Amino acid sequence: MKLFPSLSALRMTRRRMTALRVAIPAAMLAVAGPVLAQVTVTAPWVRATVAQQSSTGAFMQLKSAKAVKLVSVSTPVAGIVEVHEMAMDGQVMRMRAVPALELPADKTVEFKPGGYHVMLMDLKGQVKVGDTVPLTLVFEGADQKRETVQVKATVKPLGAAMPMDDHGGHGGHQH
Ligand SMILES: [Cu+2]
Amino acid at the residue 121: M
Between the CA of 21 and the centroid of ligand 1 the distance, in Å, is: 33
167 alpha carbon – ligand 1 mean position (Å)? 8
Q: How far is the CA of 91 from the centre of ligand 1 (A)?
A: 18
pTM: 0.70
Say which range, 47-61, 102-116, 154-168, has the weakest mean pLDDT. 154-168
Q: Please tell me the distance between residue 39's alpha carbon and the centre of ligand 1 in angstroms.
A: 23
Report CA Rg, the chain.
16
DSSP E strand boundaries for 48-113: 56-64, 68-74, 78-89, 92-97, 101-103, 109-111
Q: DSSP 3-state helix, strand, coil percentages of the chain (rounded to 5)?
A: 10, 45, 45
Residue 113 CA to ligand 1 centre (angstroms): 10
Domains, the chain: 7-156 (2.60.40.1890)
Residue 120: CB atoms within 10 Å: 28
Nearest to 168 by CA among 101, 82, 83, 89: 89
The answer on pLDDT for 49 being more than 70 is yes
- Interval between CA 117 and ligand 1 midpoint (Å): 6
Dist CA 62 CA 107 (whole Å):
8
Residues 6+ apart with CB under 8 A from 124: 76, 77, 78, 79
Instruction: Give the Å distance between the CA of 88 and the centre of ligand 1.
Output: 13
pLDDT per residue as tens digits for the range 78-121: 999 999 999 888 999 899 999 999 999 999 999 999 999 999 99
pLDDT value of position 170? 43
Q: Give distance in angstroms: CA of 20 to centre of ligand 1.
A: 32
Question: Running DSSP on this structure, what letter comes out for residue 4?
Answer: P
How are beta strands 132-141 and 146-156 bridged, if at all?
Answer: antiparallel
Q: How far is the CA of 120 from the centre of ligand 1 (A)?
A: 8
Between the CA of 34 and the centroid of ligand 1 the distance, in Å, is: 25
Q: Specify whether the backbone of 139 is left (phi greater than 0), alpha (psi in -120 to 50) or beta.
A: beta
| Start-to-end Cα distance in the chain | 15
Q: What does the pLDDT read at residue 52? A: 93
CA 170 to the chain's CA centroid: 18
Give the Å distance between the CA of 28 and the centre of ligand 1: 31
